[in-house]
Amino acid sequence: MTTTSIPASRSTPRARAAIIGASGYTGVELMRLCAQHPHLDLVYATGDTQAGTRAAALYPSLSAAYPDLVFEAFDPDRVDGVDVVFLGLPHEASMALVPQLTGRVGTIVDLSAAYRLKDASLYPTWYGFEHDQPDSLATAVYGLPELDRSALSGASLVATPGCHVTAATLALEPLVAAGLIDRHGIVVDSKTGISGAGRALKHGSLYCSADENLEAYGLLDHRHTPEIEQAISGDGPSCRVLFTPHLAPLNRAILATCYATPAAGAALSTEVLLDAIRARYAGEPFVVVGAASPSTKAVLGTNTSMLTARYDERTGTVLAICAIDNLCKGASGGAVQAANVALGFDETAGLQRVGMYP
């Protein structure tokens, strides 16, 4: 398989990368990011349903970087010795594959939810399958560097967060950690672009269904709910979240609008909230905190997260908002960011911080 990557100097450290499940939307986004990455050489890309298809034929956007790359069927022997393997597979498929890859590759970065939840008993309720690898759940590192960067260094198994979860967590975790909001009664109202549903043909993502339409889904039982609760709770008591996602007629987007009540005794104002978020993310390369209301267009194609917060004295309500690109920071970009930390590269390598506008 012939691959093309951006030239690098002879002194630039290199790592061999593979993408298992490269023909889906998160896979093609990973390929885009690898093509501009100064340290990653993509040596293997699978897409079992598209095996034998030129990547550039399915995705012409890849033509300049990968003119001759052909999606292959998965062969475990092809990943031996690879430095990082990205898994863009369904949850149960990832869970079945990880034990086969462990010990054969350097770092596994899983974009499914197979290793996100620490409590194996939650999987039957929220995902509909039994998790048979509690030890791997315990050792998998949650792939949101803004939460715990030190744990990612040298990690062998990384669980990339969900897209809605990334936005909601970035907005809420600083306020929970600072003791500013009550841990119960948190509401997350999140809008997502249609690419979040994947490339497979579904009635809800057909043009005639999605165009000029805004629709809530996953009412009361969306599978990201326990992940949001786990991520924002930290080491303290469990949070309780009512999460409602909405499908918007956009290609790429997450806009999470989060509501909470003040913690007992907390003296709040908008500046107090903004100061807490700014302090939490001071020096973070992919987080922008400001007074302006975030927009999804501003983060299009980037790994950047834009945040703001308000305190409404009239109703006694805390409001926190986060905008991200669901395929980049919410999936593939977040996975590359976590891989950079795990492999010891510059965390920003291969990732954009400035959006495409207009």
> For the segment 254-265, what is each residue's pLDDT rounded down to a tens digit?
999 999 999 999
| Residue 12 binned pLDDT confidence (cut-offs 50, 70, 90) | low
**Could you tell me which residues come within 8 angstroms of residue 3 by beta carbon, excluding any fewer than 6 positions away?**
41, 42, 43, 66, 68, 69
What pLDDT is stored for residue 200 in this prediction? 79
| Residue 7 binned pLDDT confidence (cut-offs 50, 70, 90) | very low
pLDDT digits (tens, 9 = 90+) for 87-109: 999 999 999 999 999 999 999 99
pLDDT digits (tens, 9 = 90+) for 159-205: 999 999 999 999 999 999 999 999 999 999 999 999 888 877 788 88
Q: Which residues of 20-44 are buried (b: 16+ CB within 10 A; e: fewer)?
A: bbbbbbbbbbbbbbbbebbbbbbbb
CATH fold of 164-326 reads Dihydrodipicolinate Reductase; domain 2 (3.30.360)
**Could you tell me which residues come within 8 angstroms of residue 126 by beta carbon, excluding any fewer than 6 positions away?**
117, 221, 223, 225, 226
pLDDT at 2 over 60: no
User: Parallel, antiparallel, or unpaired: how do β-strands 157-159 and 107-110 relate?
Assistant: parallel
Among 41, 45, 54, which Cα is nearest to 15's? 41
User: Which pair of structure tokens corresponds to residue 263?
Assistant: 């913690």
Q: How far is 339 from 157, CA to CA, in rounded Å?
A: 10
Q: How many residues does the chain have?
A: 358
Q: How far is 277 from 43, CA to CA, in rounded Å?
A: 40
Task: Find the catalytic residue in 163, 239, 258, 322.
Answer: 163
Q: Map tokens 């308000």 to a residue.
A: 310
pLDDT at 218 over 90: yes
Q: For 4-15, what is the mean pLDDT?
A: 56
pLDDT at 25 over 70: yes
pLDDT digits (tens, 9 = 90+) for 313-348: 999 999 999 999 999 999 999 999 999 999 999 999
Residue 163 designated active-site? yes
pLDDT digits (tens, 9 = 90+) for 273-322: 999 999 999 999 999 999 999 999 999 999 999 999 999 999 999 999 99
Q: How far is 207 from 216, CA to CA, in rounded Å?
A: 17
pTM score of the predicted model: 0.94
pLDDT digits (tens, 9 = 90+) for 50-62: 999 999 999 999 9
Q: How far is 300 from 215, CA to CA, in rounded Å?
A: 22
pLDDT at 206 over 50: yes
CATH fold of 15-160+330-343 reads Rossmann fold (3.40.50)
pLDDT at 5 over 80: no
Q: For 214-226, what is the mean pLDDT?
A: 96
What pLDDT is stored for residue 209 in this prediction? 86
What pLDDT is stored for residue 203 in this prediction? 84
Mean pLDDT of the chain: 94
Contact 234, 280 (CB under 8 A): no
Q: For 221-244, what is the mean pLDDT?
A: 97
Contact 8, 14 (CB under 8 A): yes
User: Parallel, antiparallel, or unpaired: how do β-strands 157-159 and 141-142 relate?
Assistant: parallel
What pLDDT is stored for residue 201 in this prediction? 76
Report DSSP letters for 45-99, one per residue: EE-GGGTT-BHHHH-GGGTTT-SS-B-B---GGGGTT-SEEEE-S-HHHHHHHHH
Cα distances from 31 to residues 55, 59, 155, 210, 352, in angstroms, run: 10, 11, 22, 27, 14
Contact 160, 227 (CB under 8 A): no
How many CB atoms within 10 Å of residue 288? 17
Q: Do 164-326 and 15-160+330-343 fall under one CATH topology?
A: no
Domain limits of the chain? 15-160+330-343, 164-326
Contact 192, 248 (CB under 8 A): yes
